[in-house]
Amino acid sequence: MSAAPAGGTWTWTGERGERPWGYYLVLIEDRGYKVKQFVVRPGKRLSLQRHARRSEHWFVVRGEALVTRNEETLRRAAGESVDIPLGAVHRVESLGPDDLLIVEVQRGAYVGEDDIERLSDDFGRA
């Protein structure tokens, strides 16, 4: 399914990726950016990772997040956000008893799912 605002092109892919920590859903993708929703189950966390070709902006919609960004550890609640610069080592963990829901905007030369360098992973994928 494709739709576009006047003068632009973008694609709603509906792509869903199941992961051991939860899942992601691609909402919109176009050249140079992608918008995703991802859900992290209580007590789970993503890989400690970095990206060579994109930055990310995370907006917490629901739940409580513990974000690692390089040497920092940041707590974020619903309504708060955090920027992940290009090349930053990062991860997010769901702290509360409910699912953590984040809307992520990726921006960069390439926004494919294979632009992930996993440094550490609770599920043996590093």
> How do residues 100-120 score in pLDDT, each as one tens digit?
999 999 999 999 989 999 999
* Residue 107 structural domain: 11-120
pTM for this entry: 0.88
Per-residue model confidence as pLDDT tens digits over 58-80: 999 999 999 999 999 999 999 99
Q: In this predicted structure, what is the pLDDT of residue 115?
A: 95
Q: 91 in a domain, yes or no?
A: yes
Q: Is residue 47 part of a domain?
A: yes
What single letter denotes the amino acid at residue 87?
A: G
* CATH number of residue 68's parent domain: 2.60.120.10
**Model confidence at 5, in pLDDT bands (50, 70, 90)?**
low
What total of structural domains would you count in the chain? Answer: 1
Structure tokens given for 109 = 């030369």
Q: Nearest-5° angle of CA 51, CA 55, CA 56?
A: 110
Once rounded to an integer, what is the mean pLDDT over residues 3-26? 78
Neighbour tally for 50: CB within 10 Å: 19
